[in-house]
Chain A
Amino acid sequence: MIAELGQVFLVAALASAFLQFLGGTSSLFINIENIEKFVERITAFQTLSLVICFGLLTTAFLQDDFSVLYVASNSNTALPTGYKIAAVWGGHEGSLLLWVLILSIWTLFLSRDTALKSSPELRIMALSILGLISLGFLVFILYTSNPFDRILPSPLQGRGLNPLLQDPALVIHPPTLYAGYVGLAVPFSLAVSSLLTINNHQWAKHARSWTVLSWMFLTGGIALGSWWAYYELGWGGWWFWDPVENASLMPWFLATALMHSLIISEKRGLFNGFSTLLAITAFSLSLLGTFLVRSGVLISVHSFASDPQRGLFILVLLAFFSGSALIIYSIKQKKNEQETVHPLSRESLLLLNNVFLCASAGLVLIGTIYPLILEMLDLGKISVGPPYFNFVILFPFIPLLMTIGVAVFSNWNQGPKNLMKKLSPIILIAILLGAMVPFVYGWASLLTLVGVSLAFWTILTGVSPLIKNRFSINKNLIYMPMILGHIGLGLMILGITVTSSYGITFDDSMSIEQSSNVGDYEFKLTEIGRRNGPNYLAQYASIEISKDGEYIETVYPEKRVYDSSSMGMTEAGIEANLFRDLFIAVGEDIGGGSWSMHLQYKPLLRLIWYGPIVMMLGGFIRVFLSKKNLENYQ
């Protein structure tokens, strides 16, 4: 019964998405006042239908209803209740349902944006475009990936959830990342709507908070994914340049650029075309990301054995949405009036950094899709490894970080005054602080020195308004998003540079009572034992960590075998504080009483995740301080 009800509400959502699109578009031809209430209501109805759909699917999971194919393939009776709920988005069909659910929630909130009500044409057309996007994905779900399909005869037991996904961080990683991906549909719809209706830079004002909000989710989702990969998947790596990771990084680069470009468009009415283009590309790249993850065209940790029809469908959606948006752009976008901007004014410097961000996205894009294109043309199968990305990303990023600090000290619409006098002490302090790092950890390379100095430079210039305004909360409130955003970025860069330059990683064979030295730390294997988990059997090692003979902590890395699958899983033992991570993972019994072990020492690794948290805090302040608050302090 539940599955049939689910079908009904899925179709109801589809119908309302269609009406939302149709109603919104009709505003071009009939009096908009007649249609506003209708579009608002149908938007709410669509969201309600999808919430019910999602609730029904969750119920099917909680009731272990294995007559539903999707439940049978992603859950079983032994799964803990929390993971039964997470299993709802653990597979292809459910995660797409989550995708449209999140889209409809964003749409609902946009339809309640009071500031946007002041320009009804822009608003209704944006809602119409969001309806069309939702329609496309609902057709996709009903046509190729229906989570409510029945299986007859129904199996007595389900296949269970992929053990890799049975982890708290992975429960929230997909919804967070999706909220970010899908959230970029909002600035996209506002940009295209603006082209079709008012065709001026007013949309930028309305799109800013929405962009920052989805950027926050995207930042959080990527950081969570990286953290999960570190302790669960990757033998202690935190970024692999895996195509699917890249798929989330590219929209992030562009969302960051868009966030800054919208400031210029709103404040100065400039670069409106560039902002529009960024909004279109950012969302196109999140669709591309969905395609890369869901189509199975990639060799990736995220690829599922899947049906090529699905990939093709998403590709058609991608081509349709970005293609038509670009066509509308090329027809409608007005030529910018010739305005002269000072090359060292804030708008020029922000534009310059946006170009660097676009270049970063472009370099990552080439490395990600080049192998796919070659394969499609039958020119052989290749893969582009991390060395490519690690190398090329430096070229846009070093000048980007240099410019950031200068941009903070620049002014709108004019050149900076006494720039060198203001900046030279900061440059000096940044380099001195940077030089401390080789002093503490030892000399690594010039690149390390440059990296850490740039990190300190970003942090110092970021906090400079705080110092200038003598730490007064009132005066600084408006700068807080920028201050926190830049501090977060600086911390992250510091973490990345120090970890990559001074980290130690190696495999060793260990037997009981034997130890292995990792830098200054000693890891001693004291015991190998077995224990039972709720739905798995684990073999654990007990490892005593000490430094200079002083005991620090005992960690228990595990090797798990889940009942539902033959797959082994590695749970690492991690001892971490702000300054360093110590990591050990059990390999396997290699005979002769020895075990293979993976050992790691990573200084300042935590900053790679704390940085994004600080950045998100900045975004949070920007979004949730009401406009009034910000204006009052201006």
Chain B
Amino acid sequence: MKENKILPRHKRFLGILATLIGVTFAIYLILTSFQSNLLYYLTPSEAITQNLDEQRSFRIGGLVEMESFKRADGSLTSRFVLTDGIESIEVNYTGILPDLFREGQGIIVTGSFDNKKLFIATEVLAKHDENYMPPKIHAAKEPAL
């Protein structure tokens, strides 16, 4: 008789405990995987002025500077300069460039700095809209126009 009275309370307690453990685990999971998988998105100026960890990868959005594109014949490796009109960064990338990649176009590169000068990109993204511009560049350009 006595046991029957206690049982529902125990059950509720166990339920709450299980939920708490579940939620704690979920938060822990999210935080740890965020920590290792977050990519910061910066402009070339921010990337240069901020003191960035060389191990960590992040994204830089900017315009490909005119006449900065270089590639050795038959090589998959290319070099170009990414700019936001204030600062420029030289980027090195091995692989196929997206269809929309061209000088003067807004692109996003993912990768990390080899040294303060050269950015080694592991991914180059160009947007699928001809009118696309990385949002911050757009904002930076507007007052000038």
A→B interface (CB under 8 Å) = 162, 164, 233, 235, 299, 301, 303-305, 359, 362-363, 366, 370, 380-385, 387-388, 391-392, 395, 507-509, 511, 559, 565-570, 585, 587-588, 590-594, 596-598
Contacts and interface: CB of A to CB of B under 8 A. Distances in A.
Contacts of A391: 33, 37
Interface string B91-107: 00011110110000000
B108 interface: yes
Instruction: Give the interface size bracket for B toward A.
Output: 35 or more
A592 B136 CA distance: 38
Contacts of B76: 507-509, 590, 596
B37 A384 contact: yes
Given A382-B40, A391-B33, A392-B33, A305 B129 contact: yes
The 6 closest A-B pairs by CB, nearest first: A592-B73, A591-B73, A592-B74, A381-B41, A587-B96, A594-B74
**Most interface-central of A299, A597, A598 (chain B CB within 10 A):** A299
Interface of B: 26, 29-30, 33-34, 36-42, 59, 71-76, 94-97, 99-100, 108, 127-136
A362 B97 CA distance: 34
A596 B41 contact: no
B30 to A, nearest CB: 6
B107 to A, nearest CB: 12
Contacts of A395: 26, 29
A162 B100 CA distance: 13
Contacts of A592: 73-74
A305 B42 contact: no
Given A359-B26, A596-B96, A509 B75 contact: yes
Contacts of B128: 162, 164, 233, 301
Given A509-B74, A567-B130, A590-B74, A388 B100 contact: no
A385 B97 contact: no
A299 B108 contact: yes
Contacts of A304: 129
Contacts of B133: 305
A592 B96 CA distance: 16
Nearest to A506: B95
A590 B71 CA distance: 8
A566 B38 CA distance: 34
Contact of B41 (A303, A383, A598): A383
A371 to B, nearest CB: 8
A278 B64 CA distance: 47
A391 B34 CA distance: 10
Given A303-B132, A383-B41, A385-B37, 8 more contacts: A233-B128, A385-B39, A391-B37, A392-B29, A507-B94, A507-B95, A509-B75, A596-B96
B86 to A, nearest CB: 17
**Most interface-central of A370, A509, A569 (chain B CB within 10 A):** A509
Contacts of A511: 74
B18 to A, nearest CB: 11
Given A359-B26, A381-B40, A590 B73 contact: yes
B39 A568 contact: no
Nearest to B132: A305
B73 A594 contact: yes
A592 B135 CA distance: 37
A273 to B, nearest CB: 16
A319 B34 CA distance: 27
B97 to A, nearest CB: 7
21 contacts: A162-B128, A299-B108, A299-B134, A301-B127, A303-B132, A362-B26, A363-B30, A380-B41, A382-B38, A382-B39, A388-B33, A391-B33, A509-B76, A566-B130, A587-B97, A588-B97, A590-B73, A590-B74, A591-B74, A596-B95, A596-B96
A570 B99 CA distance: 7
A299 B126 CA distance: 11
Contacts of A362: 26
Nearest to B110: A385
Contacts of A381: 40-42, 136
Given A235-B96, A381-B136, A387-B36, A392 B74 contact: no
A545 B73 CA distance: 26
Given A359-B26, A382-B39, A594-B73, A299 B135 contact: yes
A267 B143 CA distance: 63
Contacts of B72: 591
**Most interface-central of B36, B99, B136 (chain A CB within 10 A):** B99
A568 B38 contact: no
Contacts of A359: 26
A162 B99 CA distance: 14
B96 A380 contact: no
Given A384-B38, A567-B100, A305 B73 contact: no
Given A382-B38, A385-B37, A568 B99 contact: yes
B72 to A, nearest CB: 8
Contact of A568 (B59, B95, B100): B100
B40 A380 contact: yes
B68 to A, nearest CB: 17
Contacts of A301: 127-128
A569 B74 contact: no
A588 B99 CA distance: 9
Contacts of B42: 381
B73 A588 contact: no
A565 B97 CA distance: 19
A232 to B, nearest CB: 11
A588 B96 contact: yes
